[in-house]
Amino acid sequence: MKKPVQIYDTTLRDGTQGEGISFSVTDKILITEHLDAFGIDYVEGGWPGSNPRDMAYFEEVRKLDLKHSRIAAFGSTRRAGIPVEDDGQIRLLIEAETPVVTVFGKTWLLHVTEVLRTTPEENLAMIEDSVRYLVEHGREVIYDAEHFYDGYSDNPGYALSTLEAAIRGGASYLVLCDTNGGKLVPEIGEITAAVIRRFPDQEIGVHCHNDSGVGVAVSLAGVQVGATMVQGTMNGYGERIGNANLTAILPNLILKMGYETACDARLPKLRALSLFIDELANLRPDSRAPYVGDSAFAHKGGAHADATKKVRHSYEHIGPESVGNRQRVLVSDMAGRSSVFLKAKELGVVLERDSEATKKLVEEVKKLEHEGFEFEAADGSLHLLLARSEGLCKEHFVFESYRVIVEKRGGGAKPTAEATVRLRVAGKSIYTVAECTGPVGALDKALRLAVEKAFPRINEVLLKDYKVRILESNQGSNSRTRVLIESADKAARWGTVGVSGNIIEASWQAIRDSIDYKLFRDSLETPGE
């Protein structure tokens, strides 16, 4: 019978060592609450004494009424030549008042002699003393054997003796760390199995990094041979390439390998948790992330999309909803009628699969894609195209003209842009002027001013992202430009696209579609608008 696997999350400590990753104390508290609700067994909050933010976190986290997660403080063994009770860093681990303390120690002789510059015997004493002292102060102690796999490859006897020292001290878990992330699956499996044979009554965990691109695979290999704890980070955050990614490890353990975790019942919330943490980290989610990415269950080829709708598992290894994701059909110049039909159904537009109108619509999509339009990230523009082809989208305003002027004066003044827009709204000609630091912002403001009186909810729209790509770059300044805009209101996000040899015109197309799509969605909610 398989033992349940304990999940240890180190996003708040090891994850923040990744380039560009930083969380405020408030962020860390919010993430802790979400990890607890998800069923994560251990949440490593930080390293007491390393920075004021971590100390403030440990003070705040004590106020939470956590239902499941146990909070761990992280630190090193005592320093060489200093009694454990006199070591300031050990004292801070006690003062953090967490129920769990995770300490790391050296298992690779190279680090003992060349980094710590102490003797092998003193290193063993440092491990045993530190673990015992923390246990005597009422803490559950997890021992992270740093560089264990490299240390074992170099000198198996000494690496195992460091684990024996932690056992004598009273460690609840021995966690084997592939700190450099350089080991491959067979070696991790063989060494982990050797440790489990040596210490059959001891709980063993694995802590792996992704430097070789196999952080998830080696973590699963460790569990497969008997490890009962996996350490990792949400979305794979971490130093260098990152840590083993829990958003891939969890569904593999639960859905593919049949292991029990405390997260099993919450797995359908996995994508939401992943997106929440990306949002707090101010990072754009990885669309190609296994299980939780936007593209994880996206189908572009017409034959694939058609087959998937008939038999879902023909091109999907799990049901997307089991991890909180969804199936997406992408429409492009590879699309056939089936893809367009299925995408229309997904967007709520009913087409007749074999009608002449659908055939013309497919040809129009392919023509637009050939011109440089891309609808994979522009569902808003595609939805409008489908709805207009069926006469479902009324004309909310009639475009007459726009003009944009960019001015920069001497004396170090910043450039400014002025845009004028003339529209016909509800039968009236409306002329607006707006200024902004750039031409796109000025156009956006002028368009909103023109329609806001007739459609006041347009002020709910926020411009979330703006991307420019030069097509056919060998044409130099005559190249065509594609602009992708992501917009959002209180209820949804949508993408729109524009393409032109003029970047202002491409931007205008995408902005106009963004506003038009908001008005279209609102009209569906309130028929007759």
pLDDT tens digit string along 191-236?
Answer: 999 999 999 999 999 999 999 999 999 999 999 999 999 999 999 9
Whether the pLDDT of residue 311 is over 50: the answer is no
CATH fold of 372-391+461-529: Double Stranded RNA Binding Domain (3.30.160)
Burial (CB < 10 A; 0-12, 13-18, 19+), residue 58, is: buried
Residue 153: predicted pLDDT: 94
Whether the pLDDT of residue 491 is over 50: the answer is yes
Q: Span 6-280: which CATH code?
A: 3.20.20.70
Mean pLDDT over each residue of the chain, to the nearest integer: 88
Task: Say which amino acid occupies 276.
Answer: F
C-alpha distances in Å from residue 45, one per residue of 13, 156, 365, 523 = 6, 32, 50, 47
The span from the CA of 88 to the CA of 84, in Å, is: 9
Asked whether the domain spanning 397-454 has the same topology as the one spanning 372-391+461-529, the reply is: yes
Show me where the domains of the chain are located. 6-280, 298-367, 372-391+461-529, 397-454
- Tell me the whole-structure pTM to 2 decimals: 0.69
Confidence of residue 330 (pLDDT cuts 50, 70, 90): low
Task: Say which amino acid occupies 78.
Answer: R
* More confident: 341 or 49: 49
Residue 333: predicted pLDDT: 46
- Picking from 47, 42, 50, 51, the residue whose alpha carbon sits closest to that of residue 14 is 47
- Picking from 140, 107, 151, 148, the residue whose alpha carbon sits closest to that of residue 126 is 107
C-alpha distances in Å from residue 112, one per residue of 97, 150, 195 = 29, 13, 21
The span from the CA of 93 to the CA of 29, in Å, is: 19
The span from the CA of 394 to the CA of 96, in Å, is: 62
The span from the CA of 257 to the CA of 13, in Å, is: 28
- Picking from 338, 405, 412, 395, the residue whose alpha carbon sits closest to that of residue 519 is 395
The span from the CA of 507 to the CA of 184, in Å, is: 47
Q: Partners of 436 in the beta sheet?
A: 417
Determine what percent of the chain falls in helix, strand and coil, rounding each to the nearest 5.
Answer: 45, 20, 35
Instruction: State the Cα angle at 3 between 202 and 225, rounded to 5°.
Output: 70
Kindly give the interhelix angle for 356-371 and 337-346, rounded to the nearest 10 degrees. Answer: 90
Q: What is the pLDDT of residues 224-277, one digit of tens each?
A: 999 999 999 999 999 999 999 999 999 999 999 999 999 999 999 999 999 889
C-alpha distances in Å from residue 420, one per residue of 43, 402, 403 = 54, 5, 5
CA dihedral 349, 355, 358, 362 (to 10 degrees): 150
* Cβ atoms within 10 Å of 474's Cβ, excluding its own: 6
C-alpha distances in Å from residue 331, one per residue of 44, 301, 343, 467, 510 = 43, 8, 7, 20, 18
Question: CATH number of 397-454: 3.30.160.270, 3.10.180.10, 3.90.420.10, 3.40.50.2300?
Answer: 3.30.160.270
The 8-class DSSP code of residue 295 comes to: T
